[in-house]
Amino acid sequence: MSLHVDLETFQQKYKQKVEDMMIGFVTEKDMPSPIKESMVYSLEAGGKRIRPILLLAVIHGYGKDPQLGMKTAAALEMVHTYSLIHDDLPSMDDDDLRRGKPTNHKVFGEAMAILAGDGLLTHSFQLIAEDTLISSDQKIKLVNLLARCAGPEGMVGGQVADIEGENKRLTVEELESIHIHKTGKLLIFSALAGAIISGASEGELNKLEEFAHHIGLAFQIQDDILDIEGTEELIGKRTGSDETNQKSTYPGLLTMEGAKDKLRFHLDEALASLSGIGMETSMLEEIAHLIVNRNH
Amino acid sequence: MSLHVDLETFQQKYKQKVEDMMIGFVTEKDMPSPIKESMVYSLEAGGKRIRPILLLAVIHGYGKDPQLGMKTAAALEMVHTYSLIHDDLPSMDDDDLRRGKPTNHKVFGEAMAILAGDGLLTHSFQLIAEDTLISSDQKIKLVNLLARCAGPEGMVGGQVADIEGENKRLTVEELESIHIHKTGKLLIFSALAGAIISGASEGELNKLEEFAHHIGLAFQIQDDILDIEGTEELIGKRTGSDETNQKSTYPGLLTMEGAKDKLRFHLDEALASLSGIGMETSMLEEIAHLIVNRNH
C-alpha cells in the first residue's frame, strides 16, 4: 500500500469524521439541553481542524489506520474549541464574532459559555478514556500529555502570559514563549499523540516534537504577517487588529523582512527535523508548507 | 489490625495530606505566577474536605493503605475547588465571599479566575495520570468516572439545571435531580473511586453508589434546613438566603416537618445500603451521621 496520499483528500475525509465523532459524542449524552446546544454550536463552527488532521496524518505516516486516533483527535479538537469559547469571553478577549458567527457567549450568555467550555474540556478526557481501540497504557499517556499541553504549563499558561503581556513591549523571547505555550503545545500534542498511538520510539517522538514546535511558531509568525499584509492588499479595510490592540508582533519587533526570515527559518527547521525518521513524511511536509503559504 | 478508627483523627491526618498534595502539585509546576497564585489561593481556602475524606475512608474500610488514594483524592478536591471558583463568577452566582474570604475573581479578576478553574480541572486528570501506585486500568477507570461525574452529565449539568431553575417553582423531583447532579455525583465519585482503588466487586460498587447517592441528598436537605433554622436561632441575622434568592428548597416544597422526614429517610437508606458489604463501615456511618447532624 502506498502511503502517498494527497493532504486535501485526507483532510476532507477525516475533517468530517472528526466532526461527526465530536458532535455524536456530545449529542448522545444525557444533559440539560441549553448546554448541549451551546457545546454543539461551537463544535460545528468549523475551521480547518489542523490539529486533528496532523494527529491522524502522523498515524497514517506510520502505516497505521487513522481510525485508531479518531477519539483522541476529536478530544484534541474539543480542547481547542473550549479554549476558543473561554478566550472570547468579555473578561478575556471580548470577541463578538468568530469565523463570521456570533461567539458562544453572544448566543448563549456568559454563564452557559463558561459551562460549555468546562463541559468540552471534561468530555475530552472522557473521550480518550472510552476509546476501545488502544491500550490503557496508551490512554494514560495521552491523558497525561493532553493535560500537560492544555493546562497551566501549556495552553492555559500561554493565555495567562498573553493577558499579562498586553500593552507591553515584549522581547522576541517573551513573544516566542507566549506562542509556544498558547499555540505550540496543542500542536505538539497533535504530533506526539499520533506517534504514541502508532507505537513510535522515544527518538522519533523527539523529532516529531521538534517538528511541531517549529510549525507552531511558523503558524504564529504567518498570522502576524497576514494581519498586516492581508489588510494592505484590501483597500478600505482598517489597520491590522494587532496594531489597534497594541499587541507585540514579529513584524513589529523584527521588521517585516526579519519576520519573513524567521518564518523561513522555522519552516526549514521543521522539515529538517523529519529527516531520518522512520515514517512516510509527505503529508507532514505538506502541512508545514500549508501553514507558511496560507493567505487566511 | 483493627480498622476502627475515629473519623475525627482520620480526617485531621488526611485533610492535611490532601492539601499538601494539591498545593505541592501546583507549586512545583512551571507556569506564570499569577495563575499559580490564583490556583493556590482557592486550594488553601479550606473546608472540611469531605469528598477526599470519604474516598480515603472507603480505602481504609477495605483494609488498604489510604495512601493509595491520595492522588485521586487530591484530584477530586481540585475539581470541587474549580467548580466553586466558576460558580462564584459574576455571570453565575456572583458571590463576593466564600468561607469568609473574598472569592477568587474578587482578588485575581475574572479572567484569571476562569483560567485558574480551567487549570485546576485540567490538573486533576494529570494528577490521576501521574499516579504510580495504581495500575493504568484503574487510572483509566478513574479518569472516565471523574469525567462523567464532573462533566455535563454530572456536576456541570447540575449547575446548568440550577441556573435554569432560578426563580421558578420546581417540583420535588426537579429539585432532587439538580442536587443529584450538582452535589451528588462528586460524592458518588468519592465512594466509587475508593472502591475501584481497593479492587471492590461490582456488587459492592453498586452498594457504595447507593450510599453516596443518599448522603448527597441528605447533605442538601440539611443545607436547606440550616438556611432557615440556623438563622432563626441567631437573633439579628437576616432571613435565609434561599428565601431572599427565591430558591426552591425542601422545607419550602415539603414543609419543615416533611423535609426532616425526608432527611431521616435518606440517612436510613444510606445506612441500609452498607449492610452486607465486605468492608469495615464504621467511618462511613460516622460520615453519614456527621452530614445529618452538622449545624453549619
Reported as a single tens digit per residue, the pLDDT across A223-236 is 999 988 875 544 33
Angle between helical axes of A202-233 and A172-179 (0-180°, round to 10): 110
Minimal CA separation from B32 to chain A, in Å: 6
* Chain A interface disruption, residue of B84, B85, B121, B142, most A CBs within 10 A: B121
Mean pLDDT of chain A: 93
Give the CA-trace dihedral at A209, B136, A28, A98, to 10 degrees.
Answer: -30
Residue B53 reports pLDDT greater than 90: yes
Reported as a single tens digit per residue, the pLDDT across B184-226 is 999 999 999 999 999 999 999 999 999 999 999 999 999 999 9
Lowest model confidence (mean pLDDT) among A147-161, B6-20, B223-237: B223-237
* Chain A interface disruption, residue of B35, B115, B122, most A CBs within 10 A: B122
Between A166 and B231, the more confident residue is A166
Q: How far is CA B91 from CA A113, A116, B16, B116, in A?
A: 10, 14, 33, 16
**pLDDT-derived band at B273, boundaries 50, 70, 90:** very high
Residue A1 reports pLDDT greater than 60: no
**Correct CATH for B7-291 of 3.40.630.30, 3.30.470.20, 3.40.50.720, 1.10.600.10:** 1.10.600.10
Which top CATH class is A7-293? mainly alpha
Reported as a single tens digit per residue, the pLDDT across A31-84 is 999 999 999 999 999 888 999 999 999 999 999 999 999 999 999 999 999 999
CB–CB of A31 and B128 under 8 A?
A: no
* Chain A interface disruption, residue of B71, B118, B146, most A CBs within 10 A: B118
Sort out which chain B residues have CB atoms less than 8 A from A34's CB and list them: 160, 164
Is B114 at the interface with chain A, CB within 8 A?
yes
Task: Domain ranges for chain A, please list them.
Answer: 7-293
Sort out which chain B residues have CB atoms less than 8 A from A139's CB and list them: 136, 140, 143
CB–CB of B92 and A111 under 8 A?
A: yes
ipTM score = 0.95
pLDDT, position A231: 59
pLDDT, position B238: 43
**pLDDT-derived band at A239, boundaries 50, 70, 90:** very low
